[in-house]
Each structure stands twice: as C-alpha cells, then as structure tokens.
Amino acid sequence: MSNEFWLLTVPNEGRTPEQTFERLRRYTDEFSKGYLVQIPSLTVGTLDSLMALSDDMEKVDNSIEVAVRKIERQYAEICGGSGRTREPLLIDAVPVERYLPSFVWEHAKYPHRRALPELVGSLRSCVGAIEDELKHLTITYAEKTQKLASLNRGAAATKGAKASLALSPLEDVLRPEHLEGVEFLDTEYLVTVVVAVPKPKEAQFLETYASIASDVVISDGAACSPAVPGSATKLTGDAEACLYAVTLLKGRRAPGKFEGDAWAPGAFVDFVQAYAAAAKALQFQLRPFSYDAERVARNESERKALGAEVDRLHASIVRWCKAHFAESFVAWMHLKVIRAFVESVLRYGLPVDFVTALLLPLKFREPQLQAALDKMFSHLTRDDARGLVEDDEKVGEYYPYVIQKSAALLA
C-alpha cells in the first residue's frame, strides 16, 4: 500500500451514492483500495461565506498538517530506532492505515450543525494549542538534556561519548577515585597543577618535567625549573592522553628599590606561567585545577537528579506524542472533510448531491490510478466547470473532480 491517501468527491449525476461509489470502485479497484466516507449534513451558509472559507482552507490545512508532522518527528527523534522497531503512533488504538478507512465524524466534539467557519476556527485553535505545548515541551527537554550532557562529559556520559582529557573541563573528567591520595597544594609558595600529556610522550614527560623551564628559578647564580622533583603523580589516562599532578613553585618578587624617597617593591615573577609556556612547546598542556570535594559531590548529586528528571520528561513526551498525534490527526481529517464539502458545493452547486470517497493507492500505482480517474470523469471537463477555477489554478494541476492528496505518515 502507498503512503498516500486521496480524498475524492464526485457528483452522483442521477445515481444513488451507493451506485456512484460502486462505479468508482470498478474503475479504481485495480490501483487502490476505496472506502465510502459519510459526510454529515454540514451547514452550507451563504455562497460568499463558502468562497471566503475556501480561500482560507488551504492555509489551515497546511498549518494543521505541519503540527501533525512535528509531533511525528518529535516522537521519532525521542524514541530513536527505525519506524519498524519503535511502537507505531495510534488513533483510537489502531494505526493510521486502519483508522483512515473507518473514519467517522465525531459529532460530540465537532457538532455538524455549527457554522463552518466556527468549526474550522475550532479545529485551528485546538491544533494551534497543541503545537504551542509541543514547542514548550521540546525546548524544556532540549535544555535539560544539554545540561545533563555537560555534566556527563566524563567517562559516564550517557551517550557513550568519551571526554577529551586534554580539552574537557577537569571537573567533568577527574573523579574522586582519581584524586585519592593526591594532595593538591595552594600555599603562598607552592601550587599543584594538572598537566595533560599525549600518550606517546608520557615517558618523555616523566624524564623531563622537573627540568622544564630550567632557567626560570634563579638563586645564588644557579638556575633550575620551578617543578618540584618527584612530585609528578598520574591521575588518569586513556589511549590518547594522560593527566599528571605536578607541584610547582609559584614565583617570587624581584628585589625592590627606592625611586627618589619612595620604596618601589619589585615585580612578581610568575614561575607557573613560565613553566606553562615551556611545557606547551613540548606539547604538555598545563591545566590549573582546584579540587573541591563538596562541589564534586554536589555535581554528582545534581547529575543524578537531572538524569532522573530527563528520564521522566522523556517518558512524558512519549506519552504526550501518542495522545496528541491522535487528536491532531483526527482534527486534520475533519478539516479535510469540511474542505472537501466546501469545494464540492462550490464546484458542483446545490443541492448537495455528491459522494466523498477515500482512496488508498497501491504502491507504485498512483499514476495508473490518476489516469483511471481522469478517464472516468473526463466528461466533467467543461468550459463552465473550468470557469469556476481561478487562472492561477489552471496553470497548476486541475482536475474535473475535487481531490486532496496527502501523505498518511512521514516516510
């Protein structure tokens, strides 16, 4: 079966509705499955009101279809997998392909005696409210998932993406177990920093870290590196990089001097920055890090709470999509029936004497079905019928009958 459904309206031309439908089936059964659609006695109103409504109907139809497709896409995205593996969207507990042939006008929700503009306005408002609610839900879900992803960039990332030890925030990479037994100093003279080392250069780093920037610290005419020998401690590593904790001398002040009668203290010489620059030239990246056990615990608690909230929101959106897809699709079908009725009255005139049928084309047989319909109703193509169609419509597809073609579901 094709993914399309065609809503077709043709005049009875002296036949009963049943006779018209049976004749239609004889012409089209080879290319489609056909079903008679029972349209209630809708309120016709005035010709002017019908023409005004007809002009607006295509826009309303398109806007409702857009909402239906948004729900479909959101459901597909949030459920993941292919259309064959995820649970299908249902209408009244049946899939779309079974709902369409069994379409029945819902009189309680859409009273057929209401003025047609009121009915169309009600359908538009109902689906518009649903679309607004979907927008709010998707924005909220996106914000929560993005925040959770930022908290999960470490090894426990929910989507399995591994954090870069060289680039990711250290708070997202280093866990309490990595820091156990490591003392992070931050005194007047000493500071412990983290150095990201490419895996192939790990041995080189261990051999040279205590001699990097060896001309920075000068004392009694001798020079040395600010790195404390023996302080390098490996925190964690993967196939690409390692993280080491190294303790450095912070720096010193140059000797001061008198400038006139005022004493001017010497400038502060930053050993850490000098060490970082020299290490960078060797592809070792210095990464200052201050470990806060309470902050780590808060982050972990927040991550778990946010994960639970995202899971709840995920389940809620799945349920929401199932319920509101059905509501939106039903509204869309009622709008299409109203549109078929209005366009048929304008095309065939009064009194109402036409039949509406649902055609479900067989796969790859759409061209043959179209040709069969054109041949069957070729006698309706008259100058007076064409006169009812605007010039810009003639340039596009014009049929001697009223037809709407739509996709039942997203491909």
Check whether residue 276 and residue 319 sit in a common domain.
no
For 61-85, write each residue's pLDDT tens digit.
Answer: 999 999 999 999 999 999 986 666 7
Report d(CA 50, CA 41) in Å as an integer.
Answer: 15
Asked whether the beta carbons of 183 and 192 are under 8 A apart, the reply is yes
The total domain count for the chain is: 2
Quote the DSSP letter at residue 168.
S
List Cβ neighbours of 1 (8 Å cut-off, separation of 6 or more): 33, 97, 360, 361, 362, 363
Check whether residue 134 and residue 64 sit in a common domain.
yes
| 3-state class (DSSP) for residue 270 | strand
Mean pLDDT, rounded, for 15-21: 95
Residues listed for the chain:
411
Domain range spanning residue 119? 4-144+308-407
Which CATH number is 15's domain given?
1.20.1460.10
Residue where one domain finishes, among candidates 290, 317, 349: 290
Q: Is the pLDDT of residue 233 over 80?
A: yes
Tokens 């439908």 belong to 21
Domain-embedded: residue 365: yes
Between 299 and 116, the higher pLDDT residue: 116
Mean pLDDT, rounded, for 85-92: 89
Domain-embedded: residue 303: no
Check whether residue 387 and residue 265 sit in a common domain.
no
Which CATH number is 272's domain given?
3.30.70.100
Asked whether the beta carbons of 62 and 54 are under 8 A apart, the reply is no
For 326-343, write each residue's pLDDT tens digit.
Answer: 999 999 999 999 999 999
Check whether residue 312 and residue 286 sit in a common domain.
no
Residue-level pLDDT at 266? 66
Residue where one domain finishes, among candidates 255, 290, 325: 290
Domain-embedded: residue 150: no
Domain-embedded: residue 200: yes
Check whether residue 274 and residue 335 sit in a common domain.
no
Report d(CA 257, CA 61) in Å as an integer.
Answer: 84
Residue-level pLDDT at 301? 86
Check whether residue 347 and residue 260 sit in a common domain.
no
Domain-embedded: residue 24: yes
Domain-embedded: residue 195: yes
Check whether residue 101 and residue 14 sit in a common domain.
yes
Domain-embedded: residue 398: yes
Check whether residue 321 and residue 242 sit in a common domain.
no
Question: Which contiguous run of DSSP H or E holds residue 248?
Answer: strand 241-249
Domain-embedded: residue 25: yes
Residue where one domain finishes, among candidates 258, 290, 322: 290
Q: Is the pLDDT of residue 392 over 50?
A: no
